[in-house]
Structure 1
Amino acid sequence: MTGTIEVMRQHRSIRKFTDETIAAEQLQAIMAAAQSASSSSFLQASSVVRVTDRALREAVMPLCGNQAYVAEAAEFWVFCADFYRHLHWVPEAKTGYAEQLLIGAIDTALMGQNAITAAESLGLGGVFIGAVRNQPHELSALLGLPQGVIPLFGLCLGHPAQDPEPKPRLPAPLVFMENRYQSEPDVAAMANYDERVRHYYQTRTGGNKDTSWTGQIAATLAKEARPFMLDFLREQGFCLK
């Protein structure tokens, strides 16, 4: 096993950080790694807003579920799908297609994954913040995001002040399939995984959380999440056709 694979396998979300800043050369290395991610058709349809102003951080935090580490982590970056740049330099470019939303989201997610992997390889830690999509209009106004740009997720980075164990992932046979989709998954494997997840949560929370993976999915998908997103996407010039 390589060191790179080991870093990836030991990934866990860090939500408590020390007060130590991240060295400039480390930040530059993380940015370079993020930009080295694959890009569909070389469109490079992503931008990252690094929020360094403390007052702005404090204003952003309530828009992201009041998660304290958004304000407290050494770094907070907002990853965006971006077609504004394309229209700025090539005004006749045809945009607004649903496929372009997928391209922007995929390109940006790959950048984010490269960034967190690079950070963890340097002994740093981080956590992705999907809650940047809780109030996208307000966040876009604070960050000055023009039409053609949408915030997809945030990333807190810093020196870890905790050492949680990695969350157990689904058994590989339930995820990796050969030749055809397996629509009848292994019931016993799922039952065993549910118990592993239940044990993980009980251990992590001192018995305060008692749920399985399927139980968590039932709770999470019991209602529509962020029903305003389609209107916001269209206002920003995405999914028009």
Structure 2
Amino acid sequence: MTDSAEAPLSAPDLRYGIPGLPPGPSSPMIEAMLAHRSYRNFLDRPLEPGALETIVAAASSAPSSSNMQTWSVVAVEDPAWKDRLATLAGNQGFIRQAPLFLCWIADLSRLDRMGQAHQQQLAGLDYLESFMVALVDAALASQNALLAAQSIGLGGVYVGALRNRPPEVAAELALPPRAFAAFGLAVGWPDTEARAEVKPRLPQSLVLHRETYGTAGEEAAVAAYDRVLAGFSEANGMGRADWTGRMLKRVAGPESLSGRHTMAETLRAMGFPLK
């Protein structure tokens, strides 16, 4: 992080935690995207009427592979329902606190029902590619939804822990076979009294490749990012933990996957053959 005597970082530089990004074009949308942060503290305030429908309309405006639209979203507002989902998703309290919890579904079931209605077997749905399309569709739609929510003053945080116990989540949401709750999104009015800062991301030298993939300078760039993220974490009361240590621990083995190491078998049991 920068010294307090230094000039504040621009929005693009703030995204990386260090100055030096070449100047480029900007717009209100770009500024809003660069200012993204995850909010885990929400006010006790309901969403405006029509906000949910507007957010979903923005989600529906995302690109979709071959216009297949293999996603759905379950909007959960009932406190008891949110409580049960929070328990299944690692007992994360902000799910209970948020006025809206969106469960994003990789959904091949709609096409499956269409095939049944037309007496046509859709063998293409059995393949891993179709499931990947559904996951991508759900992710694109959800990102549009979050940007829309942010544009009207709301905040949110994604919840990957919805995948910790897929069969139980599917039962709570009454999902049919071939429908999978890929992740959640807690949405609400951010509590501005609670600290929520822009978390620095990996430098562009690690993620932006030109013409071909390159690894030159990777070790030094990761080490520099470790210092930036450790400073950010320390400043936000999370201890001086660097990115490398966190990632190596995160994928060290099946025990670090929060029960998701059996995901392939779980998905097959939920109607996805994944051929």
Task: Output the TM-score relative to the length of structure 1.
Answer: 0.95
Q: Give the Cα separation in 2 of the matches to 1:185 and 1:27.
A: 45
Q: Helix, strand or coil for the counterpart of 1:151?
A: strand
Q: Give the Cα separation in 2 of the matches to 1:149 and 1:107.
A: 13
Alignment of 1:1-241 (within 5 A): 1-91=26-116, 92=120, 93-94=122-123, 95-161=125-191, 162-205=194-237, 208-224=238-254, 225=257, 226-241=260-275
Shift of 1:72: 1.2
Shift of 1:50: 0.6
Task: Output the TM-score relative to the length of structure 2.
Answer: 0.84
Gaps of 5+ in 1: none
In the TM superposition, structure 1's runs of 4+ consecutive aligned residues that sit over 6 Å from their partners are none
Alignment identity in percent?
38
Shift of 1:163: 4.4
The 8 Å contact of residues 101 and 239 in structure 1, kept in 2 or not, is answered as no
Shift of 1:71: 1.2
Superposition CA RMSD, Å? 1.2
Q: Helix, strand or coil for the counterpart of 1:227?
A: helix
Shift of 1:27: 2.1
Q: Helix, strand or coil for the counterpart of 2:227?
A: helix
Q: Give the Cα separation in 1 of the matches to 2:77 and 2:202.
A: 37
The amino acid of 1:67's aligned partner reads Q
The amino acid of 1:13's aligned partner reads S
Deviations 1:144-163 (A, max 9, x none): 11101001000000000134
Deviations 1:8-37 (A, max 9, x none): 101111000000111123222211101111
The 8 Å contact of residues 131 and 274 in structure 2, kept in 1 or not, is answered as no
Deviations 1:126-180 (A, max 9, x none): 0000011111111111111110100100000000013411110111111010111
Larger Rg: 2
Shift of 1:86: 0.6
Shift of 1:184: 3.2
Gaps of 5+ in 2: 1-25
The 8 Å contact of residues 108 and 131 in structure 2, kept in 1 or not, is answered as no
Higher RCO by CA contacts (8 Å cutoff, separation 6 or greater):
1
Q: Helix, strand or coil for the counterpart of 1:44?
A: coil
